[in-house]
Amino acid sequence: MSSAVDRAAPARAEERRWVWLALPAVLFLGALFAWPVLRLLAQAVEGGTLEHLEKAVLDELYVEVLVESLEIALWVTLLCLALAYPVALWMLRAGPWGRALALFMLLLPFWTSVLVRTYAWMVILGRNGIVNRSLLEWGVITTPLPLLHNLTGVLIGMVHVLLPYMVFPIYAALLRMDPDLPRAAEGLGAPPWRVFQRVVLPLSLPGVFAGCALVFVLALGFFITPALLGGGRIIMISMLIEQQVREFLDWPFAAALSVVLLVVTLGAYWGLQRLTGGNRLAAG
């Protein structure tokens, strides 16, 4: 225990010595991120009134939309995790060609606009879309499945956009794992399931949490995809903020809603960090 502390102390001193290297980035973020956010906070209480914030946290409409946005973000995060983990594991085992192919396929959607991808999903998932027409033709179903203009469509579209943000942190964490560790466990007679559960999974957790945090936070701010794939039935908080800004020019109230969203997001991030203990997220 004490030796670990001894080793940590000089490392921290070393860190401090190089901290000025971060100065340009800090100034950049300060001027272009922190300052505007503070201005936003100020606008929410413009005129010294808490009326806007009060409405944002007490009116059932906005509370309900916020809760629904959180639920959707959570679902998207869990679905991404379920899909991404096997992909990351496979990438670790795959040869160089397989890995290159996987990377290519993951990055390809990144180079396409979200709007285009969303319209593509409308073509695929519609009542007369590719999926439904094929299933009907094969006799699997007799009436088209409701895949679009509801929660299902929104989840599919959002998971598609956000999946890379989950795969890469997990893959990075797995890559950092000493390959001798699972081998040693195998050598000691652990069955594959056991090796995964006791060795691979715990070592990949920082990546898992980093991926979850990224996807959750990004999902909370979505609005084009849910507006188009949700058929109007899915309302996310960012859609209401946009409405206030663009249509009603009620910027103080838009600011109040943004503040609530910011606080909830930071709270979720903090909770996740507490849950995983300390700096794992940052390490991921």
Partner 1 sequence: MLRRRQLLAAAATLPAPALAQGAAPRPAQIVVNASGGAMEQLFRRSYFAEFERRHGIRVVATSPVDFGKLRAMVESRNVEWTVTELGGQDFMRAKELNLLEPLDFSIIDLSRYPAAVRDTHIFPSSVYSTVMAYRSDVFPTGQHPVGWAQFWDVRRFPGPRSLRNHPVDNLEFALLADGVPMDRIYPIDMDRAFRKLEDIKPHITVWWTTGAQPAQLLVDREVVLASGWNGRFFDIARRGAPVAVEWTGGSLKQNAYGIPRGARNAVWGQHFLQIMTMPELQAVYATELAYPGLHPDTPNHVSAEVRPHLPTSPGNIEKQYWIGVEWWTQNGARAQERWNRFMLRRS
The residues of the shown chain that bind partner 1, judged by CB under 8 A, are 61, 64-65, 68, 122-123, 126-128, 148-149, 227-228, 231-233, 235, 240, 243, 247-248, 250
Please identify, using beta-carbon distances, which residue of 59 and 178 lies nearer to partner 1. Answer: 59
CA distances from 212 to 76, 162, 207 (A): 9, 10, 8
- The 3-state DSSP class for residue 144 equals coil
Please identify, using beta-carbon distances, which residue of 126 and 203 lies nearer to partner 1. Answer: 126
Please identify, using beta-carbon distances, which residue of 109 and 144 lies nearer to partner 1. Answer: 144
Structure token pair of residue 192:
């594959």
Report which DSSP code applies to 284: -
Structure token pair of residue 210:
């980093």
Give dist(CA 265, CA 213) in Å, integer: 10
State the minimum distance, in angstroms, from the CB of residue 232 to partner 1.
2
State the minimum distance, in angstroms, from the CB of residue 241 to partner 1.
12
State the minimum distance, in angstroms, from the CB of residue 145 to partner 1.
13
Please identify, using beta-carbon distances, which residue of 170 and 228 lies nearer to partner 1. Answer: 228
State the minimum distance, in angstroms, from the CB of residue 179 to partner 1.
50
Please identify, using beta-carbon distances, which residue of 127 and 194 lies nearer to partner 1. Answer: 127
Give dist(CA 60, CA 46) in Å, integer: 23
Could you count the other beta carbons within 10 Å of the beta carbon of residue 134? Answer: 11
CA dihedral 79, 214, 171, 107 (to 10 degrees): 90
State the minimum distance, in angstroms, from the CB of residue 227 to partner 1.
5
Give dist(CA 161, CA 228) in Å, integer: 14
